């Protein structure tokens, strides 16, 4: 930043665990993750094996930093999951504002100040639904992720009354070497099927890359076939807690940012990055705040057509 750029200032603000944890759920029908008032349940795969984590809290949003949070976990990965709780709930993150920022940015950051950028550490789990979300609508991504988990995911460990309808994400072994045509009845074409199997092939390495930090993780992920700038930018925030991560290549984000900050109904990635540059270091947070609060850019032109592949 230059001296003329806005300065980032941390502020005291209530923390909303529901808003913070919501980014880890792929739609209401996500069979791996449930989110309700006062509870978050996730079935996932850890370095130690499968596990289910339940986080509960009393008040939301809460001024108290701990929010009366408690957690319990089941399965071989239980201990690892309990060690991730502080990261998941954004205990180390702080809300903030930019002094003398664009009015839309200042307003958006204040409205969303209850949310935190958490760090789940669950790279494998987050990459799979993110890859499925490439180049399709959100509704289709939600349905395809649910189908994949019901087809290949094992039952979640834990009490039957809690996890009866939950599934684990597909294990690396269940995805690795699976031919691309197998995914077609689920609606997942070859361009997205191959990155899924590629991520499964390198699943063991993902834990080491995540532990190595943001720069190393970014470099290594970009080496994977079919994992591009949009997927990496969509992953670094939720998994590593990177507040500067921006998904380049999104269909809507450039228009939303340009409309909010410059009154321009259409923009490309370069224009979006130019408008976000004064907020470097917190660009991902600013983008998330704007997309959560700013009105959408005017819509015109033909709608994107969805060509169904799924066998119904």
- The per-residue pLDDT for range 29-81, each reduced to its tens digit, is 999 999 998 999 999 999 999 999 999 998 888 766 656 799 999 999 999 99
Q: What is the mean pLDDT of the chain?
A: 92
Residue 272, strand partner residues: none
- As a whole number of angstroms, the distance between CA 129 and CA 103 comes to 34
- Looking at per-residue pLDDT, the higher value among 108 and 303 belongs to 108
Task: Lowest mean pLDDT of 58-62, 148-152, 190-194, name the range.
Answer: 58-62
Instruction: Please check whether residue 138 is in contact with residue 251, taking contact to mean a CB–CB distance below 8 angstroms.
Output: no
Instruction: Please check whether residue 249 is in contact with residue 234, taking contact to mean a CB–CB distance below 8 angstroms.
Output: no
The pLDDT assigned to 3 comes to 43
Structural domains of the chain in order of their starting residue, each with its CATH number: 7-12+98-293 (1.10.340.30)
The pLDDT assigned to 12 comes to 87
Of 130, 147, 165, 158, nearest to 50 (Cα)? Answer: 158
SS (H, E, C) 262-303: HCCCCCCHHHHHHHHHHHCCCHHHHHHHHHHHCCCCCCCCCC
Residues 126, 230, 26, 252, Cα dihedral to 10°:
170
**How does DSSP classify residue 98?**
E
The pLDDT assigned to 59 comes to 85
């Amino acid at each position: 930043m230059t001296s003329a750029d806005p300065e980032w200032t941390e502020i005291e603000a209530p923390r909303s665990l529901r808003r913070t944890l919501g980014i880890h759920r792929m739609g209401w029908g996500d069979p791996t993750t449930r989110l309700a008032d006062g509870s978050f349940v996730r079935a996932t795969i850890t370095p130690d094996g499968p596990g289910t984590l339940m986080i509960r809290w009393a008040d939301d949003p809460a001024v108290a930093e701990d929010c009366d949070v408690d957690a319990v976990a089941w399965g071989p990965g239980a201990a690892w999951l309990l060690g991730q709780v502080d990261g998941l709930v954004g205990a180390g993150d702080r809300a903030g504002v930019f002094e003398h920022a664009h009015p839309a940015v200042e307003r958006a950051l204040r409205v969303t100040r209850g949310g935190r950028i958490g760090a789940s550490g669950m790279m494998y789990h987050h990459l799979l639904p993110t890859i499925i979300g490439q180049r399709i609508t959100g509704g289709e991504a939600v349905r395809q992720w649910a189908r994949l988990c019901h087809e290949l995911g094992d039952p979640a460990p834990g009490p039957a009354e809690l996890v009866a309808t939950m599934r684990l994400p597909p294990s690396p072994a269940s995805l690795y070497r699976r031919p691309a045509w197998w995914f077609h009845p689920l609606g997942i074409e070859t361009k997205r099927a191959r990155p899924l199997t590629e991520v499964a092939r390198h699943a063991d390495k993902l834990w080491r890359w995540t532990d190595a930090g943001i720069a190393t993780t970014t470099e290594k992920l970009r080496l994977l076939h079919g994992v591009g700038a949009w997927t990496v930018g969509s992953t670094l925030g939720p998994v590593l807690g990177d507040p500067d991560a921006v998904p380049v290549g999104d269909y809507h984000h450039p228009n939303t940012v340009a409309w909010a900050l410059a009154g321009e109904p259409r923009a490309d990635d370069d224009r979006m990055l130019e408008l976000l540059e004064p907020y470097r270091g917190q660009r991902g947070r600013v983008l998330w705040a704007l997309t959560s609060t700013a009105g959408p850019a005017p819509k015109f032109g033909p709608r994107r057509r969805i060509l169904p592949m799924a066998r119904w």
